Chain A
């Protein structure tokens, strides 16, 4: 909570001033029925227009000042709450950017997005409500009650009876409605999920001819949504009549009791009229308080979700060594690694030395630990035990930026951003010249297809832009990584969608152009690693064999196995 509240700092004057102005507004507003009563009681019987005019002028001025305060409060409240919301969003966003891969894995993308949008908005609304309504309602009640008490003590008893009745009724209703409301929301989400799922799975549904089945399922949840909505709304429609009942009963009681007092001369007619005005103000204030309370309860979920993000500390932080990599060598020293969420080691006692400038292939079946192993090199994850030494220093000693700028990794699940192809390529190196860009794209075999677009490198990607094929995307991703001119480049299954011919052309170009760069290639296709200096065979998290591809073909059972399943029958 402290972290959320600290986001108010920048807009604190607005946030403090809003409730103050609101209080002034309430004080002015409370006066209005009082002045009105005076007009009736003193102005009219006095038969002097001057008195009436004076009182009426008072009232207009009061209302005008109250209007000014109200307008000012609106401006301040908007500035304060939206400013706070944007600070909070920034805080959450920046925190997410500082997440380690481990943190990223533990949150779902869509859930992070909900936090950044809906949850931030709810909390922002919560602050606004606190600044405005939560100040206004009780203050209005107190002020109105004080004035009403001042007018007539005896009549005030009616409030003392009415208020608790109203509060109890609202609390009971609220308590009953809350769980129903939550249930209804899950149904609402469920319905949306169903529809969304249909949209993503439309081809599956249609090819299995499951339209009727889908409709059935949708109708089912739609019906559940309807019945649960009706249930909760039937309760909620009680609130308004209930409030009216209390208010009306109070008015009648006041008319009766007040009427009797007027008759015996202990009260004036105008006083009775203003008193009735206060009935509305006080009881409406109560209702507002109840609503605030209900909303605050709902807010708790959002607060928890935001706190979860803000309290997530990245375990991967900069080291103290201020230098950069001395060369492109990599050494795994008895490395064991386990994902936090897993109960099984992903890498077990790995020892491996890779020379600077060497090209190393890594093969192994899905889930054997290939990706886990290479992710330790740019310190996307930290080892559980042992150490990874890159460029002659432990990866944990470097500042992350220094390390990652020299270790370019082309991820398996890669992403391009909206913008032009060139803008995307510049991610690798913002200062790259056009020549450098073209050179990198030629190595990645992307130049030709990029030039085939009418707008070449300034072709827009993403919404409304050109749709790239999977292979084309992968090639741009490789070029992007190449532009960083790293000492080490890691290709994690980065050419899986590229056809074999282009794949081999890329590998050839890499070999020619990046002689001094340490290259690590993870591949499904054994052909992709066959021209590596050495190949690492991984199985179940363990490095089984490391040798030249030729030797492995003789010595490694697994490598042979993979090789022959892919190459079988090719020998012509």
Chain B
């Protein structure tokens, strides 16, 4: 499941700090981990010991009996040794199993924690963070970065330890048998290591080339899948096939090359160990002939030669896995350490009720009325009075998007923003709910600077219907209920009726229980907008922001939902952005924006009378010739 990024040797920046932090995730399982380490040490000793037992079995258990009469008594040493071997093996197996089992639990719990931390953190990042990073980039933290950490924890650490101890142990044992032979073995192993490292380096280089080629191939395919219909309309099939063929061929060549270098290491090191074995047996035979060794010892020694090559090639793999894991963890920690959305506000939103003497009181349940509660307990009734005073804003600190924008919306008023794309309409609404913070000026909400209001409270007081409707996986009902989690089915259906969505919902295969997947891919854009209006209706917030909320709904349907929309807007402060000027006509004030500045404002009739930009826009629609 974790996509392997074997040859992805990104260099981590601060190994010790990252490692320490990673260890922090396993702190509460430190006992289990220590136990595992103990078991690993034990099982590497057991393996070495098991191999060592072969020699006495042959030399003491079997060879002395050749040609002798076999009695139960003479067999005793052999039986004893075999039992010892059996116990050794059994202990190895048990400890191997325990290590595996414990590490499964430790690994999964650790990853669970890391994922939770990562996701929780992502909830706290400001919108600008999501503007600056692509979805692919952020998703990679959940998939590949967590994947490399998984590999390192589940297998890397234990097998690194196991391999190191085994190698050290085997070398010590070998030395006890024959110093000369050990020296030869180490020489040959060094050669083997050199060759595989060389291949590894080659393969790493080619792997980078391959990754680029594959990325560009995938990018091309993604684009063409999205543009399939355009390809057909312009009869571009053959040209696309040709282009694809070229990119595909480049990727094939790069992949083949990278793959050869990566896969050749296996047979090379495998057979190198055979050569090693051959050389050792010749040397060993020679030593036997000159009487410096015996057959049993040689058998054990040769077994060691065989056993040492596997941990040796594994240890390099483990090391690389560990490095990638640390790099992966570093990338994840970078997100976790990213600056959170600033929320210095202390004023909260509370439901409101009136005392007998008409003084304000905080209610326990929703009353439909709201108040701002200051830290000192003072309540200010929420009326929905929003004022922008000389607001200056820029997304990147370079290009000014809003320039000295001032306007006000009195409680219950409907304010419309009109202007060309990029004039700053959506930006204004994103400032009211503090998706972004302004550089200069002030935004007042019921006389309170929005920065003094806790972000959660501020946003709860505003309902948004956005231009790009996004829905969630789940039923239609769940999606409407997103506006208010404790809404009853009846409330949701009422909201759907208000948005005129009830009709099409009931036509769906399972009505309100129809499951939407892939951002509501099975619904038309207009239907999605109706759903998002229903979602906002159920939220029942005192201030409503409609950003092109009906752009994909045809005018007849829009007329049908007009009554519902009027009901929804009644008594609330409403901000409307619409291309369709008929939608904004009955606003209390229409604000015409151009290049981040307000160029006209007034009621529909005022503006028409002024015969300015609005007049032109409005009559532009009526222009017959």
**In angstroms, how far is the closest chain B Cβ from the Cβ of A437?**
15
Let me know if A501 and B616 touch, CB within 8 A: yes
Q: Could you tell me if B89 and A248 are in contact, using CB atoms closer than 8 angstroms?
A: yes
B233 close to A (CB within 8 Å) = yes
Q: Which residues of B contact A405 (CB under 8 A)?
A: 235
Q: Are A404 and B232 in contact (CB under 8 A)?
A: yes
Q: Which 9 A-B pairs have the closest CB atoms?
A: A70-B267, A56-B282, A237-B100, A67-B271, A59-B278, A63-B274, A469-B421, A86-B252, A52-B285
CB distance from A37 to the nearest CB of B (A): 10
Is B553 close to A, CB under 8 A? yes
In residues 273-310 of chain B, which contact A (Cβ within 8 Å)?
Answer: 274-275, 277-279, 281-282, 285-286, 288-289, 295-296, 298-299, 302
A101 adjacent to B232 (CB under 8 Å): yes
Known: A44-B285, A110-B518, A238-B100. 16 other contacts (CB 8 A): A55-B285, A60-B275, A60-B279, A64-B275, A86-B249, A203-B435, A206-B127, A207-B464, A238-B97, A252-B89, A260-B70, A262-B63, A504-B621, A562-B555, A566-B621, A572-B608
A372 at interface by CB-CB < 8 Å: no
The verdict on B579 contacting chain A, using a C-beta distance below 8 Å, is: yes
Residues of A within 8 A of B267 (CB): 25, 66-67, 69-71, 73-74
Interface membership of chain A positions 393-437, coded 1 if the CB is closer than 8 angstroms to chain B and 0 otherwise: 000000011001100110101110110000000011010000000
Would you call B473 and A113 a contact (CB within 8 A)?
no
CB pairs A–B below 8 angstroms (28 shown): A52-B286, A56-B278, A56-B279, A67-B267, A70-B267, A71-B268, A75-B264, A96-B228, A97-B231, A100-B232, A116-B225, A195-B119, A195-B142, A201-B470, A202-B127, A207-B435, A215-B119, A222-B115, A241-B100, A263-B68, A263-B70, A269-B295, A365-B554, A380-B229, A380-B233, A408-B234, A415-B227, A417-B223
The size of the chain B interface, using a CB distance under 8 A, is: 153
B557 at the interface (CB under 8 A from A): yes
A502 to B113 CA separation, bound complex (whole angstroms): 54
Which stretch from A151-159, A186-194, A323-331, A440-448 is at the chain B interface? Answer: A186-194
Q: Are B620 and A500 in contact, CB atoms less than 8 angstroms apart?
A: yes
Contacting chain A: which of B165-173, B237-245, B378-386, B439-447? B237-245
* Contact in complex: A273, B299 (CB < 8 Å): yes
Distance in angstroms between the alpha carbons of A409 and B233 in the assembled complex: 7
Does any Cβ of A come within 8 Å of B108's Cβ? yes
Contact for A113 among B58, B222, B237, B622, CB less than 8 A? B222
* A39 with B285, Cβ < 8 A, contacts A63-B274, A570-B622 known: yes
Instruction: Indicate with 1 or 0, residue by residue over A17-48, a CB within 8 angstroms of chain B CB atoms.
Output: 00000000100010010011001100110011
B542 at the interface (CB under 8 A from A): no
In chain B, residues 458-472, which have Cβ atoms closer than 8 Å to a Cβ of chain A? 459-460, 462-464, 466, 470-472
A197 at the interface (CB under 8 A from B): yes
A168 at the interface (CB under 8 A from B): no
Q: Give bound CA distance, A208 to B539, whole Å.
A: 8
Cβ-neighbour of A233 out of B66, B108, B623 (below 8 A)? B108
- B521 on interface, CB distance cutoff 8 Å: yes
**Does B139 reach chain A (CB closer than 8 Å)?**
yes
A201 touches B272 (CB 8 A): no
Binds B, one of A137-145, A384-392, A525-533, A540-548: A525-533
The interface bits of chain B over 567-595 (1 if a CB of A lies within 8 angstroms of the residue's CB, else 0) are 00000000000011110010000000000
Query: With A78-B256, A202-B130, A366-B524 in contact, is A53–B466 under 8 Å at CB?
Result: no
Of the candidate stretches A223-231, A286-294, A300-308, the one touching chain B is A223-231
Total chain A interface residues with beta-carbon distance under 8 A = 165
A211 within 8 A of B: yes
Complex CA distance for A238 and B483, rounded to whole angstroms:
48
B299 in contact with A237 (CB, 8 Å): no
B289 touches A52 (CB 8 A): yes
Q: Which residue of B lies closest to A428 (CB)?
A: B234
Q: Is the CB of A108 within 8 A of B518?
A: yes
Specify which chain B residues have a CB less than 8 angstroms from the CB of A62 in the assembled complex.
274, 278
Question: A259 to chain B: which residues have CB within 8 Å?
Answer: 57-58, 61-62, 78
- A-side contacts of B115, CB under 8 Å: 191, 218, 222
* Cβ-based interface call for B313 (8 A): no
In the complex, what residues of A have CB within 8 A of residue B275's CB? 59-60, 63-64, 67
Whether a CB of chain A sits under 8 angstroms from the CB of B230 is yes
For residue A77, which residue of chain B has the nearest CB?
Answer: B263
A322 at the interface (CB under 8 A from B): no
- Judged by a CB distance under 8 angstroms, whether B625 is at the interface is yes
Chain A residues lying within 8 Å of B462, measured Cβ to Cβ, are 207
Is there an interface contact between A188 and B1, defined as CB atoms closer than 8 Å? yes
Per the bound structure, the CA–CA distance linking A263 and B464 in Å amounts to 90
Q: What is the minimal beta-carbon distance from B326 to any residue of chain A, in angstroms?
A: 22
- Does B368 belong to the interface (CB within 8 Å)? no
B422 within 8 A of A: yes
Answer whether residue B362 sits at the interface, using C-beta atoms and an 8 A cutoff. no
Given the known interface contacts A78-B263, A113-B222, A404-B232, the answer about A561 and B556 at a Cβ–Cβ threshold of 8 Å is: yes
Q: Name the distance in Å between B220's Cβ and chain A's nearest Cβ.
A: 9
* Contact A484–B234 (Cβ < 8 Å): yes
Question: CB of B420 within 8 A of chain A?
Answer: yes
CA distance A524 to B440 in the complex (A): 40
A196 and B139 contact, CB distance less than 8 A: yes
Contact B555 A269 (CB under 8 A): no
Given the interface pairs A59-B281, A82-B256, A188-B1, the reply to whether A89 lies near B116 with Cβ below 8 Å is: no
Tell whether A150 is near chain B: CB-to-CB under 8 Å.
Answer: no
Contact of B260 among A75, A418, A504 (CB under 8 A): A75
The answer to whether A116 touches B228, judged by C-beta atoms less than 8 angstroms apart, is no
Q: Output the least CB separation between B296 and chain A (Å).
A: 8
Task: Establish whether residues B252 and A82, one from each chain, have CB atoms under 8 Å apart when the complex forms.
Answer: yes
CB <8 Å contact, B278 and A60: yes
B618: chain A residues at CB < 8 Å are 570
A500 near B233: Cβ-Cβ < 8 Å: no
The smallest C-beta distance from B608 to any residue of chain A, in angstroms, reads 7
B233 touches A378 (CB 8 A): yes
Complex CA distance for A237 and B223, rounded to whole angstroms: 42
* Given A90-B245, A99-B228, A101-B232, A226 and B112 contact (CB-CB distance below 8 Å): yes
Bound form: Cα–Cα A256–B54 in Å: 12
Decide: A400 and B259 in contact? CB cutoff 8 A. no
Instruction: Give complex CA distance A469, B555 in Å.
Output: 23
The reply on A496 being an interface residue by CB < 8 A is: yes
Closest B residue to A184 by beta carbon equals B1
Interface check B76, CB cutoff 8 A? no
Q: Are B85 and A415 in contact (CB under 8 A)?
A: no
The answer to whether B582 touches A568 (Cβ under 8 A) is yes
Are A565's CB and B233's CB within 8 A? no
Task: Enumerate A246-268 residues with CB–CB distance to B below 8 Å.
Answer: 248, 251-252, 255-256, 259-260, 262-265
A29, A44, A99, A252: the one within 8 Å of B85 (CB): A252
User: Is B317 part of the contact surface with A, judged by Cβ < 8 Å?
Assistant: no
